[in-house]
Structure 1
Amino acid sequence: MAHSSLSGTAQAWAALGGDPALLGRVRYEGTGGLPAALPVMELARSTVAVCALAAAELAARRTGGPVPSVRVDDGAVTAAFLSDRLVRVDGEAPTTFAPLSRFWRAADGWVRTHANYPHHRARLRSSLGLPDDAGVEDVAAVIGACRAAEVEERVYAAGGLAVAARGPKEWAAHEQGALAAAHPLLTMERLGQEHPPRVLPRPAGEPLLPCAGLRVLDLTRVLAGPVATRTLALLGADVLRIDAPQLPESQEAHNDTGMGKRSTRLDLGSGAGRAAFEELLAEADVVVTAYRPGALDRFGLTPEALAARRPGLVVARLSAWGRYGPWHQRRGFDSLVQVATGIAAVEGGAEQPGALPAQALDHGTGYLLAAGVLRALTGQHDEGGARLVQLALSQTAAWLVNGLGTADPAREAGAREAVAREAAQEAGAYDPEPWLIETDSPMGRLRHALPAVSFDGGPANWARPSGIWGTDTPVWA
Structure 2
Amino acid sequence: MTDTDRPSPGSFADPGPDLTAAWSSLGGDPALLARVTTVERSEALPARLPVREVARACVGACALAAAELGARRTGPARPGRPPGPGVPAVRVDDGAVAAAFVSERHLLVDGRAPVSFAPLSRFWPTADGWVRTHANYPHHRARLLAALGTSDDPEKVAAALAERSAAEVEETVYAAGGLAVALRTPAEWAAHEQAATVARRPLVERGWLDSAPARTLTPVDRDPLLPAAGLRVLDLTRVVAGPVATRTLALLGADVLRLDPPGLPELSDQHTDTGFGKRSALLDLSAGRDTFEELLAAADVVVTGYRPGSLDRLGLSPEALAERRPGVVVAQLSAWGAYGPWGDRRGFDSLVQAATGIAVSEGSAGRPGALPAQALDHGTGYLLAAAVLRALVEQADEGGSRFVRLALARTAAWLLEGATPTRAPGGDRTAAAPGPAPAPVPAAGGSAADWLTETDSPMGRLRYARSPVSFTGGPRDWSRPPGPWGADAARWGTGPVRNGAR
Identity across aligned pairs (percent)? 64
TM, length-normalised to structure 1: 0.95
**Pairing of 1:294-313 with structure 2 (within 5 A):** 294-313=309-328
Q: Distance in 2 between matches of 1:148 and 1:429?
A: 39
- Any unmatched runs of 5+ in structure 2? 1-10, 76-84, 494-502
> 1:366 corresponds to which residue?
381
CA drift of 1:6 comes to 1.2
Structure 2 residue 435 is matched with structure 1 residue 405: no
Structure 2 residue 160 is matched with structure 1 residue 142: yes
CA drift of 1:406 comes to 2.4
Q: Counting helix residues as a fraction of each chain, which structure ranks higher? A: 1
Q: 1:234 to 1:434 in 2, by over 3 A?
A: same
CA drift of 1:223 comes to 0.1
Given candidates 19, 22, 33, the residue that maps to 2:29 is: 19
Q: Distance in 2 between matches of 1:303 and 1:187?
A: 13
Structure 2 residue 203 is matched with structure 1 residue 203: no
> 2:52 corresponds to which residue?
41
Structure 2 residue 342 is matched with structure 1 residue 327: yes
CA drift of 1:10 comes to 0.1
Q: Distance in 2 between matches of 1:429 and 1:52?
A: 20
Structure 2 residue 460 is matched with structure 1 residue 449: no
Q: 1:343 to 1:442 in 2, by over 3 A?
A: same
CA drift of 1:431 comes to 1.9
> 1:97 corresponds to which residue?
117
CA drift of 1:405 comes to 3.1
Aligned length: 468
Counterpart AA for 2:485: W
CA drift of 1:187 comes to 0.7
Q: Distance in 2 between matches of 1:223 and 1:396?
A: 15
Counterpart AA for 1:116: N
Residue 228 of structure 1 aligns to a residue in which SS? helix
CA drift of 1:75 comes to 1.1
Q: 1:276 to 1:190 in 2, by over 3 A?
A: same
- Asked if the contact 2:329–2:392 (Cα under 8 Å) also holds between the matched residues in 1, the reply is yes
Q: Distance in 2 between matches of 1:137 and 1:4?
A: 51
- Any unmatched runs of 5+ in structure 1? none
CA drift of 1:299 comes to 1.5
> 1:178 corresponds to which residue?
196
Q: Distance in 2 between matches of 1:229 and 1:448?
A: 17
- Asked if the contact 1:36–1:420 (Cα under 8 Å) also holds between the matched residues in 2, the reply is no
Q: Deviations over 1:259-310 (max 9, x none)?
A: 000000001121xx11111110000000000001011112110000000000
Q: Deviations over 1:76-100 (max 9, x none)?
A: 1111101011111101011100000
CA drift of 1:408 comes to 8.3
Q: Distance in 1 between matches of 2:266 and 2:461?
A: 21
Q: 1:70 to 1:420 in 2, by over 3 A?
A: farther
> 2:74 corresponds to which residue?
63
Root-mean-square deviation over aligned CA pairs: 2.1
- Asked if the contact 1:208–1:459 (Cα under 8 Å) also holds between the matched residues in 2, the reply is yes
Given candidates 484, 487, 496, the residue that maps to 1:468 is: 484
**Pairing of 1:149-228 with structure 2 (within 5 A):** 149-192=167-210, 194-228=211-245
CA drift of 1:3 comes to 4.1
Given candidates 258, 263, 277, the residue that maps to 1:260 is: 277
CA drift of 1:251 comes to 1.2
- Asked if the contact 2:63–2:471 (Cα under 8 Å) also holds between the matched residues in 1, the reply is yes
CA drift of 1:416 comes to 4.0
Counterpart AA for 1:462: W
- Asked if the contact 2:19–2:61 (Cα under 8 Å) also holds between the matched residues in 1, the reply is yes
CA drift of 1:30 comes to 5.6
Counterpart AA for 2:187: K
Instruction: Report which stretch shifted further, 384-393 or 292-301.
Output: 292-301
